[in-house]
Amino acid sequence: MKSSPPLWQRSLLYRTVASIVAMTLLVGGLLVAGLSVLVKQKAESEAYRRLGELIDTVESTVRIACFVKDEQLAAELARGLLRTQEISAVRISEEQKSLAYLERSPPAAAPLERQISSPFNEQERVGSIVLYPDQTLIEERIITSTVYIASQFALLIAAVAAALTLTVYRLVIRPIARLSHGLHELDAESGARLYPPLSHEHNLLGTLTADINALTARLVTSLHDEQALHRQQEIDERKYRGIFENAESGIFVADGKCRMTSYNRSLARQLGLPPAGDGNETLALSDLPWADRGLLPRLTARCLDENIHANDDFELMHPEYGWRWLNFSLTPVGPDLVQGIVSDVTDRRDAETRARRLAITDPLTGLPNRGGFEQQIKLTLGTRPEEEFALLLLDLDGFRQINDALGFNVGDQVLVGMAARLLAALKSEDTVARLGGDDFAILLPGVSSSISAGKLAQRLKKAISEPVRLENREHGLRASIGLARYPADGSTLPELLRHAELALACAQSDGGNTWRIFEPSMAEAVELRQQLSSDLLGASARDELRLHYQPIIDLRNHRVSSAECLLRWQHPTLGMIAPDRFIPLAEETGLIEEIGLWCLETACRQLAAWDARGLGLNLTVNVSARQIPSGLPPETVLRLLARHGLPPSRIGLEITESTLIGDRRAVEAWLEALRGAGCWIYLDDFGTGYSSLSYLKSLQLDTLKIDKAFVRDLNEASHDRVMVEAVTMMADSLQLSVVAEGIETQEQLQLLRRMGCRYGQGYLFSRPVPAEQLPEAVARIDALASRTTI
């Protein structure tokens, strides 16, 4: 082992003096070396200068010797020059040869040569003289000068080194020694301070003293903080141990192979383990009965490999409580250790499962909702793409009227009942869903043929059409159904839903209460329906709407008593469009109020024009359920009649039975106001809707119109005849008139007369005709009645 140097060699004073001496010696040596070079250069330069002066002295004599080529004279000059100590050899030469050469010692330095010209012509060269300096003499002079200079510098350097040493000792070393002694004696913990040396309060040593005091204070503070921290760590350790043992969450420490090194009581309870401390802290978590034993080791490996916090839920078979969901939150705490916090999240996972179930379930009926239904179809398409199935969309016709009339609670009861009927009519493997409102969807696995799908649709329609009793009255519902088949009508969910919707729209546009299977032409029909909806906007302003009139005959005298106004649409490109094609569109879009007002205005104007011509007819105008009561207020009706100078008794307003399903009080007030003013009220299409016979007693009505569906098949043995006869007798007892629609044959006419039906209309008498043709039709019917019995 290398021994340390003596104490005096390690002292700051020794090292400072040694450094100063070394630096001064180095600097002095460099200066002396530099000056020696300068002295040598100066000595050589001085020697050559003196040689040049000697040549200047004898140059004229040398010219003569060289010009006359006098060797004796040249030799004499050479001997004279050698007497000078600075010259070691002389050579005098003319152009052809050397005239004289003498030397005192062999030349060692470079010579000084000068060319000699003719004494008569400076341009003519006649010879040369060469002087060789004495190198030994030059070197002696150099040494003498160098020694002198070196001794002077040595004295100067010694004086500077001594001064520097004393200065450094007094200004640096001695104050630092005092600081060091004071620092050794300093009791910083008691608050003592170190004072700077005298006369050094405001220089670097004073700053150093202040820094030492500040550092000492920080060290004392840090020491106190460390002691306090150590005490707090001891307290925290006891607290942590208490928290660790008493925490509700399970806590453990495990290695990368899931082997626990410690765990608390809560974890033992959560995992069904014996208490810690029984020699089983090294139990491997991966050995427990997990639903998937590989998940927890993978989570632990990811936590350690990526040095990140990781958490996930795992399902465990608890020995007492069965399957439980546990959340493991892992944090790396060492190269191969993780700390885990475990929480029982069974309730949360069950709630999430319920939430997911609710997200795909209709809360009212318990059926799958739109999301659940689409999920089921996607599952079928994804897992069994080769399996054929049928998709049905079902809409309840008339549900809106029941909902509006009886309230949402009753409507909800109807929806629940309809869902139960659909389930009862289908097999267990079929899927029924409620898409929203009164729209249902049905998935029929294994059904691909049109015949099978049609039979099922008919069965569902029949199940829906069974009467439902609501608030002590029976109500009837109908169903419109659209079908699409996989893969015949589409191979994707959006395509199948779109095609089923098109088929449903087609069924609804055909009057409802029917079913349709998708056909490619239906897309064109829907496009046409959308075009009609768009074109219908502003049709009245463009003067495209027309009123046709069909006479109503008094069957007792066979004369025209009034006429019904029937709306037509003269489309600019599609021609004349029947009302059953655009009236539903007008009701859906809200245009029915504008169109209905136009019809009444036009009818009043036409009636006034006919009065001016002497044609005394009454007119009936159809009023949509959407117009009652606010769409066509009684004041508006009476104002229009007054504007054209018509009494209210000249106009009859035909309402349908669907009107009676709305706000009954508002409908009754509307009817009472108009009938009280003198207008006639007709109940159109009686027997086809939702009315109850009890309505006929309470509503302000004048006339019932029997729908042509009952007149069409009227004969001696038909059920329709029994119903028509019953309606006629009932109306007579209630003092209501009856109009039979759709009379086309003499047989129908005669039967209606015998039943006591007062009025009738139909093609037997006249088709609906434009206003300009009605007077002629009336005249023809009246003339025929006066000649013969129709």
Mean pLDDT of 397-412: 81
Please state the pTM of the whole predicted model.
0.48
Confidence of residue 767 (pLDDT cuts 50, 70, 90): very high
Residue 126 CB neighbours (<10 A): 22
Question: Which superfamily does 247-350 belong to?
Answer: PAS domain (3.30.450.20)
Ranges 167-171, 172-176, 704-708, 768-772, most confident: 768-772
The whole-angstrom separation of Cα 445 and Cα 690 is: 35
Average pLDDT score, the chain? 85
Q: Which residue has the tokens 């006929």?
A: 696
How far apart, in whole angstroms, are the C-alpha atoms of residue 685 and residue 474?
A: 19
- Edge to edge, the sheet with strand 250-255 lists 260-263, 250-255, 337-344, 322-334, 310-318
3-state secondary structure of 374: helix
Nearest alpha carbon to residue 61 among 53, 75, 73: 73
Q: Under CATH, which architecture does the 7-159 domain have? A: 2-Layer Sandwich (3.30)
- pLDDT at residue number 601: 95
Average pLDDT over residues 576-601: 89
What residue ranges do the domains of the chain occupy?
7-159, 247-350, 361-518, 532-789
- Residue 280 clears pLDDT 60, i.e. is over it: no
What are 616-628's pLDDT values in tens digits? 899 999 999 889 8
Q: Tell me if domain 247-350 and domain 361-518 are identical in fold.
A: no
User: Which of 473-482, 570-579, 753-762 is the least confident region?
Assistant: 473-482
Can you give the pLDDT at residue 790? Answer: 46
- CATH number for the segment(s) 361-518: 3.30.70.270
- CB of 603 closer than 8 Å to CB of 565: yes
Residue 284, judged by CB atoms within 10 A of its CB (0-12, 13-18, 19+), counts as: middle
Diameter of the chain measured on Cα atoms: 195
Examine the pLDDT at 680 and tell me if it is beyond 90: yes
Q: Give me the residues paired with residue 486 across strands.
A: 389
Instruction: Give CA separation, 638 vs 485, 543, 676, in Å.
Output: 54, 24, 11
Are residues 103 and 132 in contact, defined by beta-carbon separation less than 8 angstroms? yes
- Does position 676 have pLDDT exceeding 60, yes or no? yes
SS in 3 state form for 130-145? EEEECHHHHHHHHHHH
Q: Tell me, what's the pLDDT at 448?
A: 77
Predicted pLDDT at 672: 93
408-425 vs 399-406: helix crossing angle, rounded to 10: 140
pLDDT level of residue 610 (50, 70, 90 thresholds): very high
Whether residue 3 is predicted with pLDDT greater than 80 in this model: the reply is no
Specify whether the CB–CB gap between 641 and 651 falls below 8 A.
Answer: yes
Q: Let me know if 667 is exposed, middle or buried by CB neighbors in 10 A (0-12, 13-18, 19+).
A: buried
Alpha helices in 186-294 (DSSP H): 204-246, 265-271
Q: Which secondary structure element, helix H or strand E, spans residue 485, and what is its range?
A: strand 478-486
| CB-based burial label for 125 (10 Å; 0-12, 13-18, 19+) | middle
Yes or no: say if 585 and 536 are a contact pair by the CB < 8 Å rule. Answer: yes
Confidence class for position 662, pLDDT limits 50, 70, 90: low
pLDDT at 7 over 50: yes
Check if the beta carbon of residue 700 is closer than 8 Å to that of residue 681. Answer: yes
How do beta strands 769-770 and 545-554 pair? antiparallel
Q: Which of 217-221, 264-268, 786-790 has the lowest mean pLDDT?
A: 786-790
pLDDT above 70 for 237: no
Which of 146-160, 436-450, 635-649 is modeled with the greatest confidence?
Answer: 635-649
φ, ψ dihedrals at 91, nearest 5°: -135, 125
Residue 97 main-chain phi, psi, to 5 deg: -160, 170
Most confident stretch, 106-120, 191-205, 292-306, 686-700: 292-306
pLDDT of residue 495: 92
Phi-psi region of 93 (alpha: psi -120 to 50; beta: other; left: phi over 0): beta
pLDDT number for residue 716? 61
pLDDT tops 70 at residue 8: no
CA–CA separation, 473 and 410 (whole Å): 12
Residue 651 CB neighbour total at 10 angstroms = 25
751 Cβ neighbours under 8 A, 6+ residues apart: 714, 715, 716, 721
pLDDT tens-digit series, residues 144-156: 878 887 788 778 8
Give residue 552's pLDDT: 96
423's enclosing H/E stretch is: helix 408-425
Domain 532-789, CATH among 3.20.20.210, 3.20.20.450, 3.30.1490.20, 3.40.50.880: 3.20.20.450
For the segment 311-337, the average pLDDT, to the nearest whole number, is 92
Q: CA 417, CA 517: separation in Å to the nearest integer? A: 26
Helix axes 592-613, 579-589, angle to 10 degrees: 130
Strand, coil or helix: 516: strand
The tens digit of pLDDT for each residue in 502-532 reads 999 888 877 788 899 998 888 777 777 788 8
Six token digits for residue 418: 């309809």
- How many whole angstroms separate alpha carbon 724 and alpha carbon 400? 29
| H or E element at residue 325 | strand 322-334
d(CA 464, CA 479): 6
Residue 303 burial (10 A CB sphere; 0-12, 13-18, 19+) = buried
Confidence of residue 744 (pLDDT cuts 50, 70, 90): very high
